[in-house]
Amino acid sequence: MRILVTGASGLLGLNLALSAAGQAGGSHLVFGTVKDHALQTSAFTVMQTDLIEPGAVERLLDQTQPDWVIHCAALANVDTCEADPEGARQLNSELPAKLARHVARGGARLVHISTDAVFDGQRGKYSETDLPNPLGVYARTKLEGERLVAEANPEAIIARVNLFGWSLRGTRSLGEFFFYNLSAGKGVRGFTDVFFCPLLANDIAPILLHMLELRLSGLYHVLSRECASKYEFGVRIARRFGLDESLITPSSVAEAGLKAARSPNLTLRTDKLAAALGTPPPDLSTGIDGFYRLYQQGYPQKIRGFEIRE
């Protein structure tokens, strides 16, 4: 298959592009887009483009002729979204809609990546039929992106994710936050009142490719089947890596003075995904074991070496 991954310098996109290139005995041809980061890797073809520019989406699809498109590019920083609501709207709502329209016209299949944060987190255990209630600009623009994609391309898969993993600069995921701070002997806070169900980024590719093979469409929660507080997640990372878990102070999100509102209970149900795939998504221990294994294999250094710095 010819697979186009947008946002291939991001936490999800990079790991997804690398994993997809390694699946099916390496027979997939993978293209990955970047905007500001300059990447060099032999694993996939890097395409540099600002997808907001007029004509960029059309040009990209024309050049790559994909069978499958996995759209990860986004404005994913919640504080940046609050500061730049128009930029967030363009990237998180307008761009997915445009891509969905053009992909439908060309006959390829689309996975659009969305977020667990469309829910306000007051209740938890949300399923795909529960009504979202986004709290901030990021979540609102992502929910609008979901709506516009479904309207423009009903065949598309819309995958609500949450994830951790190794990123290009080591700063994009909570797993890295705990690992690097604890490794340096630094104390950090871990929220005991914020819950999530993250998958290891590298475990998301096989799931999405399987969903594409099965020709699924519509909304799915693509998350770990097990959820935890951010504090518990940090402790489990510490234990797996043999780091000092007492450096993590249990605390409340209310004490942190964060600018953008965070949804406290983002436990989402994955029954629909499990039923469609015939197997449940991985639990947290499997994800954290994979995160540790990648570390032992030198994966963080390997991906860091992909970036060309001026």
Ligand X SMILES: NC(=O)c1ccc[n+]([C@@H]2O[C@H](COP(=O)([O-])OP(=O)(O)OC[C@H]3O[C@@H](n4cnc5c(N)ncnc54)[C@H](OP(=O)(O)O)[C@@H]3O)[C@@H](O)[C@H]2O)c1
Judged by the rule CB under 6 A, the positions of this chain that interact with ligand X are 7-13, 33-37, 50-52, 72-74, 76, 91, 113, 115-116, 142, 161-163, 172
- Of 33 and 278, nearer to ligand X (C-beta) is 33
Q: Phi then psi for 127, rounded to 5 degrees?
A: -110, 175
Nearer to ligand X by C-beta: 218 or 244?
218
CB 131, min distance to ligand X, A: 19
Q: How far is the CB of 25 from ligand X (least distance, A)?
A: 26
Taking CB positions, which residue lies at the least distance from ligand X?
10
Question: Nearest distance from residue 233's CB to ligand X, in Å?
Answer: 12
Decide whether 25 or 101 has the Cβ nearer to ligand X. Answer: 101
- Give every strand in the sheet of 2-6, ordered side by side: 45-48, 29-34, 2-6, 68-71, 109-115, 157-161, 218-222
Identify whether the C-beta of residue 269 lies closer than 8 Å to the C-beta of residue 227.
Answer: no
Q: How far is the CB of 185 from ligand X (least distance, A)?
A: 26
Q: How far is the CB of 258 from ligand X (least distance, A)?
A: 15
Name the token pair of 222.
């693509």
Residue whose CB is less far from ligand X, 278 or 309? 309
Distance CA 129, CA 122 (A): 16
Closer by beta carbon to ligand X, 19 or else 115: 115
Question: Torsion angle of alpha carbons 196, 200, 204, 207, nearest 10°?
Answer: -90
Burial category of 291 from C-beta neighbours within 10 Å (exposed 0-12, middle 13-18, buried 19 and up): buried
Q: Among candidates 137, 160, 158, which has minimal Cα distance to 224?
A: 160
